Amino acid sequence: MMAPAQDVREECVREMDAKRGFGTTWLREAFLAVPREHFVPDRVWWPDPGPDGRCPLLDRTRKPRAWLKAVYLPGVPLITQIDDGAVPPDGPASGAWTSSISSPGVVIEMLRHLALGPGDRVLEIGTGTGYNTALLAHRTGTGRLTSIEIDPEVADRARTALHGLGLHPRLRCGDGEDGHTGDAPYDRVLATASVRRVPYAWIQQLRPGGVLLLPLDSPFGHDLLVRLTADGEGRAQGRPVARVEFMRTRGQRGGSASYTELGWPEGLDPEQWEDLRIEVGVDGQCVTVADRTAGAAAVPAPPGP
């Protein structure tokens, strides 16, 4: 007999507690309260290609136990769309991954660093399945939460899933690189797709002292999860807090600019990533290496329990 979803969810929590943990009480409570399986399509692709180069399909109706186990593996994302929906989920497939549900571990890592306070006004860039949106709503309430998704079909599925749990945040369909001025300024802006160049609109729409958390493409072969704080004068600065891998925003997939043109210094040691400092303003972005003798800026502790 298949274990109930709640049992599998609690086992996932125990695994993550044994590693880094959740860092704050509300996040652990939200993970236990929000049914992740509710947001995962019945058919998704496993992210590791087989010998034929294609990603295996997980089908909830055919193998419900394997599907549910995959949903709650702490370190495994699941692919929900390939080639912007051109590839139907009817079997193993290859192509460009264009939408997914991030692994539980990465979701928790991001929300830990977001340091979200109760009632914060939040803009989420990339609704995706709506799962992350539901976790945010657990902390902020839906009246303070705006989420934007560029793909209409993905947005519709997320809306249906959220409404099915009685959650009604402001959901917008559009290009997330433009942000959403209608509900600005925000206390927090969270991007769930990576960029090579930080859109200045995200900085403009933050209140002074507000936080932007985003995956930034790096010359190291992976993204860096970057936490920036707005200064209220049109700039934001901060540093990387983790190494991650995310799909690129549609508008920045084919960018040909060199890393030097994107504000990165040459000759960086990949092990220096924690020493980097990133500043973004109307004139673009600039990456520098911090002076170790000056000490590293501390990341504020999450508020609350």
Using the structure block, give the residue that is written with the tokens 């859109």.
199
Tell me, what amino acid is at 17?
D
**Rounded Cα distance, 281 and 108, in Å:** 28
Does 100 qualify as catalytic in the annotation?
no
Burial call 86-117: b when 16+ CB within 10 Å, e when fewer: ebebeeebeeebbbbbbbbbbbbbbbbbbbbe
Which is nearest to 225 in space by CA: 141, 127, 109, 126?
A: 109
Q: Identify whether the C-beta of residue 136 lies closer than 8 Å to the C-beta of residue 122.
A: yes
Per the rule left: phi > 0, alpha: psi between -120 and 50, beta: everything else, 140 is alpha
Q: Identify whether the C-beta of residue 218 lies closer than 8 Å to the C-beta of residue 270.
A: no
Per the rule left: phi > 0, alpha: psi between -120 and 50, beta: everything else, 104 is alpha
Catalytic residue among 99, 100, 102, 147, which?
Answer: 102
**Rounded Cα distance, 60 and 46, in Å:** 13
Write out the catalytic residue numbers.
102
